[in-house]
Structure 1
């Protein structure tokens, strides 16, 4: 679990830095086409390194003064000790698709969901019909950030589209939930109905002994007609809860025994095409689920699609009864309509730990980054944004912000094509967030923050 320390990075210092550097002010349009609002300021961009330039960036994980950026062909380690001037420390070429990442001390967990001939980094692609093909979880030792070392792999049914870290009960191991989907009769390692997830246990001292220890079936009745597994799970270990986004279903899980998660609530929504991810508010009174309508490659942030599809759905979580219940409260959709050449839909985000408030920063692919006030779950509203405009104004191409997360005073956005962006939040409404400083942060494993 991420720990909280007392180091501070104040918004006053950030604002002074912005003024001194002559960077874009809130509400301005910069020379590179960036527009911002609500006190969001673009501090820096680091383009993708040549090694990984031809494949899309994906998710982020944070460790101390480093951020690890996943990529469909590997990952990049960035030094963010000076957020306005990030540098690349190392890059690892290890293709496998998506490249979802989680970090635990000196270990990095990396998802593989495109079959390879074997588990080696240089292995060629293989058809899913090949019984000996590898998909699953790769484990790297990143104790030397300049020289990550591949140490182990664990094969899982249907591979690993995403992975979620939960600290083991013994403190000497990690539990990793692996989500995957899309089985077929012709896939020997991905057989239908695939109504389960894979649970991997990783001993810290001997990660080579990592293994699948459970495959809980989450949908004994089959779930929604579109559900063939889960896309992503967000754990809240301090509360013993997890929220699972499973294509046609949203689940609440009891994870007090991390190796044996149990379904305690399930919801469906006719406006949701693809339950993609979830985030709890810090007090766990509300959960935000996202709908990735169009699988992230379509232009859905427009008047034609409307405000209730490809959106967030906010649910209140009632734990007063015998069993927890999720109650729908509202939708939130990006209020700034995008063009027909911009793929745009709700995607990955995290809380901004302002005391007494529920602020949420979220990526929307080419819709950019939205800062949302969720304090009133019935009326979420955008209070800040970062937007670049079309990657290609002449045709629809998949690009934009895959993930946007708040970490130790700044927002970090993983742009699929343009690399890593660093944003500052200078509006006084965000004062106090900088006091919550983490030693480690995996957005899909929420820490409980001291934000009142």
Structure 2
């Protein structure tokens, strides 16, 4: 596949396209925003309207991760994965595609939405929901030569894997649909994976067992320096010591609802499942773990007019003896579907994706006063799954074209990687938002106040469970013998609805923008 470069005159964006780019930076304080006529003299204290240096079409692309040197991208493609050379950001080159993954006559694996890379090996996990009566688990590949991936192993599971992480020695999987929604831990120091442990918030406090499955979904995980970070949807974000992977122990819980409140509201597609203040979707720390960033994937429901439930932003937490939420990055304006999705961290910079709201880069050196450095959006053609820093600039993965049919969007037709330059200058104050109040009734109180426990095991915590209506009673289970809940078809309940909301939001935002353009 040949990349489409955008740095020559024939491919430069039209004035309409340029307005789309600038619109992506709308909503910044008026005191720091120059009129359009002054764009040519943009100063160092303004956010830059970025433009892609190149694009590469890869059907079905979703999550993308990057090698240590920042020169190779590994991307999930729904039916497998692709590797891309980005050593020259103006000329990305497709190195390989591995699709229709099978094992022992089973498969091919469906809904491969996540891959993770470390130390010349790649974990390819799926399906991201379901998992019963289909090929489910993770493939392990040697990608020391990214142009010629070599399969090393396949580890079957009997549950879906919504997301995963790989630190080079252990693979961490979301046990999607498993009672109590644990994180599953596999030793992959060799080429024969072996499950060695698992962790759920029920291990910290049995009270979480009574909360609904939709609220207690283990959505994503990240591991760094023997610490597991778990985005546990409405149950908050958990920080877990995994220095002994066979005996994980929670250290802190950041924000969101209590077990008692979630038990009160029960299961189903409640407003809490769709809206803020919960919805911990993605989490990643900075390099030394002194800060943690939590993305919230949320939408505002029309049947809750008494409060604003979304879209969701990104919380900036300072860690320490008493973790503190310093501020929340606000989502881009003018698009109800522009909620936070996956992001990347490099030094004090945060590279973010917002579905139809495009991509944005922030300086978070001072988490109490983040700065918006630059961004790009074109909600007529691009809906972003993630943004990740590379050796020079960053890459964004647009996983669908919102103008396509539903079937074409599900297939990932017109999906592509877009490469962007690093923003220059000091930017401008980033738009922020106030936290949504925690509903009364069994709540933990102010979500700024985390529940913490020392590494030696004192204190309290918890998350993930099932309701009394579940046809399968949660039971203890040993590694390798996990069963899924029939009522969820083995997948995380509700996340198909969330994906649909993202698509609806992107389409709605596009329609509103077109109406405004017609009125101008």
Q: TM-score, normalised by structure 1?
A: 0.68
SS state at 1:219 partner: helix
Contact kept, 8 Å, 2:64 with 2:388, in 1: the verdict is: no
Contact 1:156-1:198 at 8 Å conserved across structures: no
8 Å contact from structure 1 (residues 175, 259) kept in 2: no
Q: Report 1:228-243 matches (<5 A).
A: 228-237=216-225, 240-243=226-229
**Is 1:196–1:215's contact at 8 Å kept on the other side of the alignment?**
yes
Within 5 Å, give how 1:5-44 maps onto structure 2. 30=17, 34-35=21-22, 38-39=47-48, 40-44=50-54
Counterpart secondary structure, 1:253 = strand
1:202 equivalent in alignment to 2:188: yes
- What is aligned with 1:178? 173
1:268 pairs with one of 252, 255, 267: 255
Written as runs of structure 1 = structure 2, the 5 A alignment for 1:50-69 is 53=59, 55-62=60-67, 64=69, 65-69=71-75
Distance in 2 (CA, whole Å) between partners of 1:144 and 1:100 is: 20
- 2:243 aligned partner: 256
Pairwise CA distance, 1:309: 4.7
C-alpha displacement of 1:304: 11
Counterpart of 1:218 in structure 2 is 201
Partner of 2:403: none
Write 1 or 2 for the structure with the bigger share of strand: 1
1:271-310 alignment, distance < 5 Å: 271-294=276-299, 309-310=311-312
2:366 to 360, 376, 387: 376
Q: Which position in structure 2 is the counterpart of 1:437?
A: none
Match in the other structure for 2:325 = 328
For the pair 1:84 / 2:90, whether they are aligned, the reply is: yes
TM-aligned CA deviation for residue 242 of structure 1:
3.0
Please list every run of 5 or more consecutive structure 1 residues that lacks an aligned counterpart in the other structure: 1-16, 116-126, 168-173, 184-189, 320-324, 392-398, 431-452
Could you tell me how far apart the structure 1 residues matched to 2:112 and 2:387 are?
16
Partner in structure 1 of residue 341 of structure 2 = 347
Offset, 1:157: 4.8
Q: Distance in 1 between matches of 2:255 and 2:318?
A: 14
Compared CA separation, residues 150 and 265, structure 1 to 2 (3 A): same
In 2: Cα distance, 1:425 partner to 1:211 partner: 41
Matched, 1:145 2:135: no
Q: Distance in 1 between matches of 2:201 and 2:287?
A: 25
Deviation at 1:422, TM superposition (A): 0.4
Q: Which residue of 2 aligns with 1:186?
A: none
Contact 1:45 1:419 in 2 (8 A): yes
**What are the superposed Cα offsets for residues 223-275 of structure 1, whole Å, 9 maximum, x if unpaired?**
354444411112222xx433210122210112333453321111332633421
Alpha-carbon distance in structure 2 between the residues aligned to 1:413 and 1:367: 12
3-state DSSP of counterpart to 1:134: coil
Q: Is the 8 A contact 2:315 2:329 kept in 1?
A: yes
- Structure with greater Cα Rg: 2
Higher helix share: 2
Between Structure 1 and Structure 2, how many residues are aligned?
Answer: 351
The answer to whether the Cα contact below 8 Å between 1:195 and 1:222 also exists between their aligned partners in 2 is no
